[in-house]
Every structure is written in structure tokens, then in C-alpha cells.
């Protein structure tokens, strides 16, 4: 196939694109210019996605909230559905005065919204939008996303502490207690599909779920099926959405950790919140719901998987699935009442944590039990067979090796599940 059409990443595309290479010939090495060009394009794409997604989600939140409460929601700004309402709000927020209380630690107060923003944005670096469409395909992508998203709470706590207000401090402390507790079941729940897939690379995990929807990891075994629901509950709590939004409980704490913020700094917290909502939904889609595949084997059966066209379809499918989960989070927020702080902690430590531990244990025992019963470790096609392209290829040059190395190689490859 034409290498430009077969390119699975922007860097490969630029490396093969004659127009780009003549444009950047002064940089010398085509690999380097492709890397720099791809980095710039990725940065612009992700930044604009991170900016636009909250605009849409905040509008969606208002519309959904309105409908659930038997109202219309925004109707005027920008035509029939009020779809420019968030933009109007954004312009209003930029114009507002940038207040800083005298009792606050001025410097920390000003810098903490950026910390929250950066932590939430960094998660998108390793989040694949389609087969190979990822800013940086890190081998431990899932681990990386969980690590940077747990840093978001630092900004929230610093905001609460530096405001010099008791409401804000209470909000920050609640957030700390909540996130430190909910991180544990969240990590365990994400490990369950990882145990089934045998990889922490989100692109690889996505590729394993190609084909029909029963290949999705949520249907891989009963434990991953249950883990999806536990994960979604915990993820909702980890992005401090209702019914777990104790950090900004309006009924008790005015606005929690962002009581003292106004204007554009206040809106950074919300951009980060909606960005994180998309990120945790994206992880749920990648780990459980088939990633960028439609589940109907449409793109794969005509051989488009991994090409530019297939990736465009996949990207649309991934964003649609993730937005669906964001919609569920909004729906839950306007349906359920807020829990008390002790109920939030009890839900995590007494129920979600033991449940996720049990599911983890079950997920590790399941392949062994299945193997002794049926002779194979998964109900459907083995996961390693579905990976495209093959995770391990034979070496290009034949290295002279002792006779026994062939068996050792096969044994090692068998562990990877690729052969």
C-alpha cells in the first residue's frame, strides 16, 4: 500500500510526505523534522480539543439539567438550542475582575488553578483517540494517566489552603480525603482489564478489542463486566462529580475549594473538571468498551483498520462513546442527591474497595479455572491474536544464536500471548 495512506501516525505521515519534507528541508534529518512537525500538530490538536470539549459539555450540562428539571435550559444565545451560551459565559468570565483576597497566600492562590489545569491536560498526552492516534504512545500509558490525574488534587488542595478562607480549606481537605481513598479502588478496577489484556499500553489494549462487540473487554469475563460499573462509579467520584462533589458542596460550603476564585481563574477549575470527565470516560471506553471500534466489525472487515480513513472513523466512534459516558455522568448528577461526607467515605472503604479486591482476585483466577475446564484461557478468540499489527515480529537480521535459544524465544513469546 502507499506508505502515506498506510501511515498510522502523523509522524509517519509527515516522514513520507514529500511536500512536508521539501518545506522543512533546512532542518536536515527527515526523521527529526517529522518528529517536530508531529509534536506541534499534536499539541495544537489536543489543546483545541481540551478547549472545545468543556464548551460543549457545559452547554450539554445546562440542557440536560434543564430537561431533567422540566425546564428548557439555554435557548437564546446562538440560535435555537442556545449552543453559544458557554462561549458568552466564557467572554463574561474573562472580563470579570481577577480578585485575590487579602487573607490569601497571594502567589499560591494565583498559581494553583494552573496546576489543576496542567494535571488534567497532561492526561490527554497518553490518551489514544484512534488506532495509533495518540500524542505519545507510552508503553505504560494507563499508569501514566492515572499518575498525572492523581496530581490534579494537589492544585485543589493548594487552592483551598491558600485562599485563607475556612470554606475553601474544608473543601480542599474533603477533596484530599476523598481522592486519596478513591484512588485505591480506581487503580484496582483498571488493573482488572489489564490482567485480561496483558498490557499497560492503551493502544495495544484498544487493538485487542477489534471485531465484534463480544471482543470488548467488558464482555471478556464476568469480573471485567462488574469491574466496569465499579470503575465508572469510582471515576465519577475521582473527578468530584455529584453525588460525590463534597469538595464544592454548595449547600454547606458556599462553593468549597473555589469559594474565593472569580473570573478566568475560576473557569480553569471547570475546564479541568470537564476535561477530566472526558479523560476518565475515555479510559473506560478504552479499557472496557472497545476503544475506537464500532463493535460491529465494520472497519476491520473491509481492511481499513489502521489507515487514515479507518482512523478518522475510529476517532469519531471513540469521541462519541466517551461523550456518551460523559452524558451519563451529567445525568447521574442531576438525578441523585448528594451524599454526606461520611457516606462518601463509607461507600468507598466499606463497599467499593472490598468489591474491587474481590473482582481482582476473580479476574486472576478466571483464566486458570477456564483453562482447566475448557482448555483455553478466554471464552472467545484469544486476546493476543487480535492485536494489529503483531506486537512482536521476528528479527530483521538473523542473529547467530545457540540451538536452544529457539525454544527459549518461543517460551518468552508465549508469555506475551503473541503466538
Residues that bind other proteins (CB under 8 A): 8-9, 12, 32, 35-36, 105, 107-108, 111, 132, 136-140, 143-144, 146-148, 150-151, 153-154, 157-158, 161-162, 164, 173, 176, 180, 200, 389-393, 395-396, 399, 401-402, 404-405, 408-409, 412-413, 415-416
Instruction: Please say which residue, 386 or 409, places its beta carbon nearer to other proteins.
Output: 409
Which 8-state DSSP code applies to residue 130? Answer: B
Residue 98 φ/ψ, nearest 5 degrees = -90, 90
Task: State the minimum distance, in angstroms, from the CB of residue 207 to other proteins.
Answer: 10
Nearest C-alpha neighbor of 193 from the set 147, 232, 225, 169:
225
Instruction: Please say which residue, 3 or 222, places its beta carbon nearer to other proteins.
Output: 3
Task: State the minimum distance, in angstroms, from the CB of residue 69 to other proteins.
Answer: 37
Task: State the minimum distance, in angstroms, from the CB of residue 41 to other proteins.
Answer: 15
Task: State the minimum distance, in angstroms, from the CB of residue 412 to other proteins.
Answer: 4
Residue 133 φ/ψ, nearest 5 degrees = -90, 85
Cis geometry, peptide bond prior to residue 389 (ω within 30 degrees of 0) = yes
What separation in angstroms does the CA of 173 have from each of 128, 182, 215, 261, 290?
Answer: 33, 14, 42, 17, 37
Query: Is 86 within 8 Å of 59 (Cβ atoms)?
Result: yes
Instruction: Please say which residue, 161 or 360, places its beta carbon nearer to other proteins.
Output: 161
Instruction: Please say which residue, 61 or 175, places its beta carbon nearer to other proteins.
Output: 175
Cis geometry, peptide bond prior to residue 243 (ω within 30 degrees of 0) = yes
Please, where are the H alpha helices in 257-388?
Answer: 263-287, 298-301, 308-333, 341-346, 353-374
Instruction: Please say which residue, 74 or 172, places its beta carbon nearer to other proteins.
Output: 172
Task: State the minimum distance, in angstroms, from the CB of residue 61 to other proteins.
Answer: 29
Task: State the minimum distance, in angstroms, from the CB of residue 155 to other proteins.
Answer: 10
Q: Which residues share a beta bridge with 133?
A: 130
Instruction: Please say which residue, 324 or 390, places its beta carbon nearer to other proteins.
Output: 390
Amino acid at each position: 500500500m502507499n506508505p502515506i495512506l498506510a501511515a498510522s501516525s502523523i509522524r509517519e505521515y509527515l516522514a513520507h510526505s514529500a511536500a512536508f519534507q521539501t518545506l522543512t528541508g533546512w532542518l536536515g534529518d527527515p526523521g527529526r523534522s517529522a518528529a517536530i512537525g508531529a509534536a506541534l500538530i499534536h499539541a495544537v490538536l489536543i489543546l483545541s480539543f481540551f478547549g472545545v470539549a468543556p464548551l460543549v459539555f457545559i452547554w450539554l450540562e445546562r440542557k440536560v439539567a434543564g430537561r431533567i428539571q422540566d425546564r428548557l435550559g439555554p435557548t437564546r444565545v446562538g440560535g435555537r438550542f442556545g449552543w453559544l451560551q458557554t462561549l458568552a459565559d466564557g467572554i463574561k468570565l474573562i472580563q470579570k475582575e481577577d480578585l485575590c483576597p487579602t487573607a490569601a497566600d497571594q502567589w499560591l492562590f494565583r498559581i494553583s488553578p494552573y496546576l489543576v489545569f496542567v494535571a488534567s491536560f497532561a492526561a490527554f498526552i497518553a490518551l489514544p483517540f484512534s488506532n495509533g492516534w495518540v500524542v505519545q504512545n507510552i508503553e505504560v500509558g494507563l499508569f501514566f494517566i492515572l499518575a498525572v490525574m492523581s496530581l490534579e488534587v494537589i492544585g485543589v488542595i493548594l487552592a483551598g489552603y491558600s485562599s485563607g478562607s475556612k470554606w475553601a480549606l474544608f473543601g480542599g481537605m474533603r477533596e484530599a480525603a476523598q481522592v486519596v481513598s478513591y484512588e485505591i479502588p480506581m487503580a484496582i478496577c483498571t488493573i482488572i482489564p489489564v490482567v485480561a489484556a496483558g498490557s499497560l499500553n492503551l493502544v495495544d489494549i484498544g487493538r485487542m478489542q477489534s471485531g465484534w462487540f463480544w471482543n470488548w473487554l467488558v464482555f471478556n469475563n464476568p469480573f471485567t463486566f462488574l469491574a466496569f460499573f465499579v470503575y465508572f462509579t469510582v471515576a465519577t467520584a475521582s473527578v468530584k462529580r455529584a453525588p460525590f462533589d463534597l469538595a464544592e458542596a454548595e449547600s454547606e460550603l458556599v462553593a468549597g475549594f473555589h469559594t474565593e476564585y472569580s473570573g478566568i481563574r475560576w473557569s480553569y477549575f471547570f475546564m479541568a473538571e470537564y476535561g477530566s470527565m472526558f479523560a476518565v470516560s475515555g479510559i473506560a471506553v478504552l479499557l472496557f468498551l472497545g476503544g475506537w471500534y464500532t463493535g460491529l466489525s465494520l472497519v476491520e472487515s473491509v481492511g481499513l483498520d489502521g489507515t487514515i480513513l479507518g482512523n478518522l472513523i475510529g476517532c469519531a466512534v471513540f469521541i462519541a462513546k466517551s461523550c456518551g459516558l460523559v452524558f451519563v455522568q451529567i445525568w447521574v448528577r442531576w438525578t441523585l442527591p448528594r451524599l454526606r461526607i461520611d457516606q462518601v467515605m463509607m461507600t468507598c472503604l466499606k463497599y467499593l474497595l472490598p468489591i474491587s479486591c474481590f473482582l481482582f482476585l476473580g479476574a486472576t483466577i478466571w483464566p486458570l479455572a477456564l483453562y482447566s475446564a475448557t482448555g483455553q484461557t478466554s471464552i472467545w478468540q484469544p486476546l493476543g491474536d487480535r492485536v494489529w499489527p503483531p506486537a512482536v515480529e521476528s528479527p530483521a537480521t538473523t542473529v547467530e544464536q545457540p540451538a536452544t535459544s529457539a525454544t527459549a524465544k518461543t517460551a518468552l513469546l508465549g508469555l506475551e500471548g503473541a503466538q
